[in-house]
Amino acid sequence: MGHKNIIFSILLIVIICINASAQNPGYRFNWSNLKNPVLEYPEWSIKDYGCVFHNDTFFVFFSAFYFDNGAVRSHVVEVTTTDFIHYSEPVLNDAGTDRGFFGLCSPDVSKIGDTWYLTYNSWVKSYNDEQTFLYYRTSKDLKNWGPDMPLAKNLTNRDDRKVGAIDGVLYKKSGTWFLLYKENRILKEGKLVKDRQVARVAQSVSPDSAFHWIKDGFPSFSMTDGKDNGFLHENFQFFTFRGKFHVLTSDYWPFFPWIYQIAEKERNLSIG
């Protein structure tokens, strides 16, 4: 890409370190030398990061855009660090070209039971001409990953509903699988109904089963006054903090981070 590109605010690191201390009460993180950006590559444009803490190590996932195999493509990349200063070589660097993808993008990872679930979406040359779809793969050790598995294809790839789906995240609670993602276009009976991007929320009995909308499928992102802040939300990450179910998201624009507590009775997303 020819210029430096950077990743990340420290906000998510703060959340992860708090949860890391909950997992391991003896764990201590050294903040003295930490500064933004916490990760950068001279020839890559990187964004969309997610992170988990396991065995005293942070596993960092992100999208990396760079020239590869004749074109600029998006890659799902995984690296590890213990201090957000020194990083491993990529554990995973995958554009999916060997499997017919033009690129892969927007990773997120969650541990459900004894299995890690990595969610991501396909990436295309033009959002105007091609669709993006949601996928997931699994691992027991965060290093060896299984094959691409389609996610909620019944909602994103129907004859009467061809839409672009990105930024998918999974979470399981009380036997129900929840999926939150961003939809690029809303189509009905082959006609464009709403030319905008919007968050969607659905649920299922398993990640490889059909998903169904929660209510109308449009989550509300409410502030303390009960009103929506009016921003488009994307790049989601579910997490539990002090026993409460939350989602971290960024707005679009100007890309500020937001944390919402899930209001489960109403099946919507509201700030705590």
**Is the same domain home to 105 and 197?**
no
Considering the domain boundaries, does residue 91 fall inside one? yes
Predicted local confidence at residue 60, as pLDDT: 94
- CA–CA separation, 257 and 250 (whole Å): 4
pLDDT-based confidence at residue 148 (cuts at 50, 70, 90): very high
Considering the domain boundaries, does residue 161 fall inside one? no
Which of 172, 217, 175, 214 is CA-nearest to residue 199?
217
Predicted local confidence at residue 21, as pLDDT: 55
Considering the domain boundaries, does residue 162 fall inside one? no
**Is the same domain home to 120 and 194?**
no
- With a CB cutoff of 8 Å and minimum separation 6, the contacts of 136 are 117, 118, 119, 120, 149, 151, 168, 170, 207
Bridge partner list, 78:
61, 92
Bigger pLDDT: 114 vs 243? 114
**Is the same domain home to 268 and 220?**
yes
**Is the same domain home to 5 and 94?**
yes
Please state, rounded to an integer, the average pLDDT across all residues of the chain. Answer: 83
Tell the residue number behind the tokens 């930024």, with chain if given. 167
| pLDDT mean over 80-109 | 95
Predicted local confidence at residue 22, as pLDDT: 58
Does residue 128 have a pLDDT over 70?
no
- CA–CA separation, 156 and 133 (whole Å): 7
pLDDT-based confidence at residue 3 (cuts at 50, 70, 90): very low
Q: What is the pLDDT of residues 18-53, one digit of tens each?
A: 556 556 666 677 777 778 888 999 999 999 888 888
Residue 222: CB atoms within 10 A of its CB come to: 17
Structural domains counted in the chain: 2
- With a CB cutoff of 8 Å and minimum separation 6, the contacts of 6 are 36, 37, 39, 40, 46
Distances (CA, A) of 34 to 19, 94, 105, 129, 133: 18, 28, 27, 42, 36
**Is the same domain home to 189 and 235?**
yes
For 211, the domain range is 167-272
Predicted local confidence at residue 270, as pLDDT: 46
Predicted local confidence at residue 266, as pLDDT: 46
